[in-house]
Amino acid sequence: MDETDRKILTCLQGDATDSVAEIAERVGLSTTPCWRRIQNLEKAGVIRARVALLDAAKLNVGVTVFVRLSTNRHGHDWFDDFAKAVAGMDEVVEFYRMSGEIDYLLKVVVPDIAGFDTVYKRLIKAAEFQDISSSFALEEIKYSTALPLNYAI
């Protein structure tokens, strides 16, 4: 990956709806080579998808909850069942396996506390946990889907 690829990715992370001609002009290429580079970045899996970012509050899911889960079950079958259950929960927008004191971290978006309670009940029905704790975000201070590109090789 060279500096031109990084410039293209910066443009796409800013607004993936920009035309190839607009991106090409910004990065100093003609349209066809720019289009080829974008295609190569997609084929290489660097560009996973082009999406629209939606306003959670306008979609009535403006409450963000971080859920920390601990379990003493670490078998493949348990995890596969749990992961499958979480995959079916649209309110869970991020799901991580963690190191340290907690095993899993979920980011959940819901309309309100009652909405989260419904998700919570689905979680405890899906799998057994040693501990579940939740924190409600009071304020979003920084949110970005843009990844830092200065480390790309």
**Six-digit token string for 122:** 């689905």
The DSSP letter of residue 31 is H
Q: What is the pLDDT of residue 108?
A: 98
pTM listed for this prediction: 0.89
Any domain includes 149: no
**Together in a domain, 130 and 62:** yes
The predicted pLDDT at position 87 comes to: 97
Contact criterion met (CB below 8 Å) for 90 and 136? no
The reported pLDDT for the residue numbered 74 is 86
Closest to 122 (Cα-Cα) out of 98, 101, 92: 92
Do both 36 and 61 map to the same domain?
no
pLDDT tens for residues 5-36? 999 999 999 999 999 999 999 999 999 999 99
State whether 131 and 62 are in the same domain. yes
Of the listed ranges 9-13, 53-57, 71-75, 113-117, the one predicted with least confidence: 71-75
Average pLDDT over residues 106-130: 96
Average pLDDT over residues 91-115: 97
Q: What is the DSSP string of 74-116?
A: --HHHHHHHHHHHHT-TTEEEEEE-SSS-SEEEEEEESSHHHH
* Owning domain of residue 23: 3-43
